[in-house]
Amino acid sequence: MNYRHIFHAGNSADVVKHCLLIALVRAQQHKPGALTLVDTHAGCGLYDLDGEQAQRTGESTQGVLQALTNPNPLLNDYRAVVQAVNVGAELQFYPGSPRILAQLLRPQDLLILNEKHPQDAYTLRGAMRGTTAAVHERDAYELWLAMLPPRTSRGVVLVDPPYEQPDERARITATLAAAHRKWAHGVTVIWYPLKDRATHGQWSEQLRKLGIPKLLRVEHWLYDGDQPGIYNGAGLYIVNPPYAFTQVLPPLLEALRAALAPEGHSGEITTDWL
């Protein structure tokens, strides 16, 4: 599945991913010690929703626009990071994970970004100008391992690939196994698109066999049944989620399900431990 982010910025998958990422980092920041935040597939950093590529799909209308108009206060932190990159009430730009993470940084925290695509890496550097982020242009999986263990005792690694390559899931599985050996207590977040339940179940079983003690799966299914050949939702694998995060997760997921359910469908967000 090709999931070049510029075509899907601000869709329902972004809303769920970024809401959970904000909650996860905030939970880590309950302790004063410094964090290292690593984004292995950082993309462009900031997306113009009025641009031709985003307008071609129009997916933000069923994502960020619904979240911004939903009154649930549990979505306030998410709405704040989106509004911070826009002027006034008008929504034109959508912040990718790099710009969101940069907003969450405390003075003691570090942000390391990586984007292999040359044009996207150039755009990313411009989007992050004025921040303290370090930007790399390397193979994502090599960088993932090279950054571990981080200079700080705690951190979060975000793995958010476009799934353009047929071996993407195999590389994630192998790298996660190696990363866990190097940094067993570290927090890792892996995003993935969902097309059908049966196919995805095979990958889940491969990850289960890694034997990672604390591996949480969160899946957001937009429709009440699989819609063949289309994007059905997205999920996150989270290694070592902090306790404070798991405590706030149930009401947050229910708020997201209600806000993002397509017309005529109730939608579903499931969580379980592998």
The DSSP annotation for 1-19 comes to ----GGGTTTSHHHHHHHH
* Annotation marks residue 109 as catalytic: no
**Is the pLDDT confidence value at 155 over 90?**
yes
Q: What is the mean pLDDT of residues 176-194?
A: 96
Q: The whole model's pTM is what?
A: 0.94
Specify the 3-state DSSP secondary structure of 176: helix
Q: How confident is the model at residue 1 (pLDDT cuts 50, 70, 90)?
A: very low
Residues 80, 49: Cα–Cα separation, whole Å: 17
> One of 14, 139, 160, 167 is an active-site residue; which one?
160
Looking at residue 263, its pLDDT comes to 79
- Are 274 and 212 spatial neighbours (Cβ–Cβ below 8 Å)? yes
Average pLDDT for 119-144: 97
pLDDT at residue number 2 = 44
Report percent pLDDT > 90 for the chain.
76
Q: What are phi and psi of 259, to 5 degrees?
A: -75, -30
CATH homologous superfamily, domain 5-273: Vaccinia Virus protein VP39 (3.40.50.150)
Q: What is the mean pLDDT of residues 83-107?
A: 94
Q: In the chain, which ranges are E strands?
A: 35-39, 46-48, 93-95, 110-114, 134-136, 154-159, 187-194, 215-221, 233-239, 268-273
**Cis peptide leading into residue 149 (ω within 30°):** yes
User: Residue 230: pLDDT band by 50, 70, 90 thresholds?
Assistant: low
- Note the pLDDT tens digit of each residue in 47-76: 999 876 656 666 888 899 999 999 999 999
Residue extents of the structural domains in the chain: 5-273
